[in-house]
Chain A
Amino acid sequence: MRTWLSTAWVLVWKDLVQEWRSRDVLTSMFAFAVLSLFIFNYALELSPIDRAEIAPGLIWVVMVFAGTLGLNRSFAAEQDQGSFEGLMMAVPELSVIYLAKMITNLLMMFGLAILVIPIYSLLYNQSLFDLRFFGILMLGAWGYSAAGTLISSMTVQTRMRDLLLPVLLFPLLLPVNMAVVKSGSAIIAVSAVPEFQSWINLLLVYDVIMTVVSIMVFEYVIRE
């Protein structure tokens, strides 16, 4: 068990160092997210009250779209240099590769959220600095990364690659989307949401199920 975790940590560290040295992914995700916010501002000409209500939804949507940039790149390095096979020869168990990638993607979403929330708050003069809201976003990001990592590990091996990722991933994310937006609204916006706890429970169930199933099937994705 301990070797499993330390191996995962080594792989996460490797991805973080790679990202830190190139800063490709986080900067593109951030630019995409902020520009999307601008586009939404002009597309949805809303009164400040309406905008305040949809803020959680907007933030989450922007994260989902920007997140695909990171997901598409998750396995790019491995695919290009054939490192999948190098890792497969070395690691104690194949599922640890999945876990490490999932954590990396989750950290990317975390970084994105940290950057985007202040920008949004600044642009629209609405404070989204709420720890509970951030917690909900992270629960959503967990589910997103769990499903997204599995799907991107598949799409990177197909002909259509990047093009296929949103098509395959988004239908699976519906429960997460609903849960994040609804429970986020309960905290940020004015409207009360009576089933708040149910949404959180649903989110947790989704996260756990998605992670467990992905770990179980991952070896079938990368083995021949």
Chain B
Amino acid sequence: MLSENKTITILSVLAAILFVFAFFMVIFYAPIEVNMGLVQKVFYFHMSAAWVGMLAFLMAAVFGILYLVHKDLKWDRLIASSVEIGLLFTVICILSGMIWARPIWNTWWTWDPRLTTVTIMAFTYIAFILLRRSMDEPSKRAQFSAIYAIIGFVTVPLTFFSARLLRTIHPVIFGSGEVDMNLNQPMLTTMFISLGAFTVMYVALLLQRARLMQAEETLMQLRLQTESDADWEDQADA
């Protein structure tokens, strides 16, 4: 446990440093964008949050497969933690998107495909949490969590392609099509730093949350053990 502590502490500190660094870069280093003005700076964190949301979802599915193969509950803790964190960042992404959108498009919400996809992803996360709440037995709950994480993730690319088929007013950053936002070199650098910071933050939070979950479970088992029948002696082997 002690070595885990060290890794997590190092990661957390690193994440904090990177985040502060990225923050200052966004405020001072990145230039103000031509078309949109100051509010465009929300983009850096908005995009990073979206990235972490996706990454968390992907990792949840990966952990799901690992659980089904190995049946070790540590993968289950990682699935649950990843989903929690993913949901948090997805909500941050949506909210920051709204903050960005209001001055630009003059509306809080649009039925824009990319936004819709991300919101559906958030709903999948919420459904996942409800599923877990509705089950008490640990191994069955882990099994179902793994399955839903995998199925949920499989639908993400399909949802994305559906959204792409519909016309979009979401600013296209990369790929074909007109570019609504002009990104020059300092902006790209800032963006990558920001993405990196958020990714490290994700990993740190993931490990912290998983460790906390393990502590919670250990506590509950200890409680059960003291309450259960103390007459069970360990039988000597025949």
Residue ranges of A at the interface with B (Cβ–Cβ < 8 Å)? 147, 150, 154-155, 157-160, 164, 167-168, 170-172, 174-175, 178-179, 182, 195, 198-199, 202, 205-206, 209-210, 213-214, 217, 220-221, 224
6 A-B residue pairs with CB within 8 Å: A174-B159, A175-B155, A178-B165, A178-B166, A217-B147, A220-B147
B148 in contact (CB, < 8 A): yes
Among residues of B, the one whose C-beta sits closest to the C-beta of A143 is B158
Q: Interface residues of A: mostly helix, strand, loop or mixed?
A: helix
Q: Interface residues of B: mostly helix, strand, loop or mixed?
A: helix
Q: Are B143 and A220 in contact (CB under 8 A)?
A: yes
Q: Are A171 and B124 in contact (CB under 8 A)?
A: yes
Contact of A209 among B148, B154, B162 (CB under 8 A): B154
Interface stretch (choices B6-14, B134-142, B189-197, B221-229): B134-142
Closest-CB distance, A10 to chain B (whole angstroms): 26
Complex CA distance for A214 and B148, rounded to whole angstroms: 10
B150 in contact (CB, < 8 A): yes
Known: A164-B130, A168-B127, A221-B143. A213 touches B162 (CB 8 A): no
Chain B residues, Cβ within 8 Å of A174: 116-117, 120, 155, 159, 162
Contact of B165 among A160, A198, A224 (CB under 8 A): A198
Chain A residues, Cβ within 8 Å of B161: 175, 202
Complex CA distance for A213 and B120, rounded to whole angstroms: 20
Given contacts A154-B148, A158-B131, A195-B165, 17 further A-B contacts (CB under 8 A): A154-B131, A154-B147, A157-B144, A159-B135, A164-B131, A171-B120, A171-B155, A172-B151, A175-B158, A178-B165, A202-B161, A206-B158, A209-B154, A210-B151, A217-B68, A221-B144, A224-B139
Contact of B162 among A154, A155, A179, A214 (CB under 8 A): A179
Known: A206-B158, A217-B68, A220-B147. A158 touches B134 (CB 8 A): yes
Among residues of A, the one whose C-beta sits closest to the C-beta of B117 is A174
Chain B residues, Cβ within 8 Å of A213: 150-151, 154
Q: Are B162 and A202 in contact (CB under 8 A)?
A: yes
Among residues of B, the one whose C-beta sits closest to the C-beta of A147 is B151
Produce 1/0 per residue, B158-170, CB < 8 A to A: 1101110110000
Q: Are B123 and A171 in contact (CB under 8 A)?
A: yes
Closest-CB distance, B212 to chain A (whole angstroms): 24
Shortest 10 CB-CB distances between A and B: which pairs? A158-B134, A160-B134, A175-B158, A171-B124, A175-B162, A178-B162, A171-B123, A159-B134, A168-B127, A167-B127
Complex CA distance for A143 and B162, rounded to whole angstroms: 14
B87 in contact (CB, < 8 A): no
Complex CA distance for A158 and B116, rounded to whole angstroms: 29
B146 in contact (CB, < 8 A): yes
Among residues of A, the one whose C-beta sits closest to the C-beta of B141 is A158
B31 in contact (CB, < 8 A): no
Closest-CB distance, A130 to chain B (whole angstroms): 22
Closest-CB distance, A187 to chain B (whole angstroms): 17
Q: Which of B120, B127, B135, B148 has the most CB of A within 10 A?
A: B127
Contact of B144 among A154, A198, A202, A224 (CB under 8 A): A154
Q: Are B159 and A220 in contact (CB under 8 A)?
A: no
Among residues of A, the one whose C-beta sits closest to the C-beta of B65 is A217
Complex CA distance for A214 and B152, rounded to whole angstroms: 12
Closest-CB distance, A98 to chain B (whole angstroms): 12
Chain B residues, Cβ within 8 Å of A182: 165-166
Chain B residues, Cβ within 8 Å of A160: 130, 134
Among residues of B, the one whose C-beta sits closest to the C-beta of A170 is B123
Closest-CB distance, A188 to chain B (whole angstroms): 19
Chain A residues, Cβ within 8 Å of B152: 171-172
Known: A157-B140, A198-B165. A164 touches B151 (CB 8 A): no
Complex CA distance for A172 and B143, rounded to whole angstroms: 19
Closest-CB distance, A93 to chain B (whole angstroms): 17
Complex CA distance for A224 and B68, rounded to whole angstroms: 12
Among residues of A, the one whose C-beta sits closest to the C-beta of B144 is A154
Among residues of B, the one whose C-beta sits closest to the C-beta of A223 is B143
Q: Are B124 and A172 in contact (CB under 8 A)?
A: yes
Among residues of A, the one whose C-beta sits closest to the C-beta of B116 is A174
Closest-CB distance, B140 to chain A (whole angstroms): 7
Known: A172-B124, A175-B159, A217-B68. A150 touches B146 (CB 8 A): no
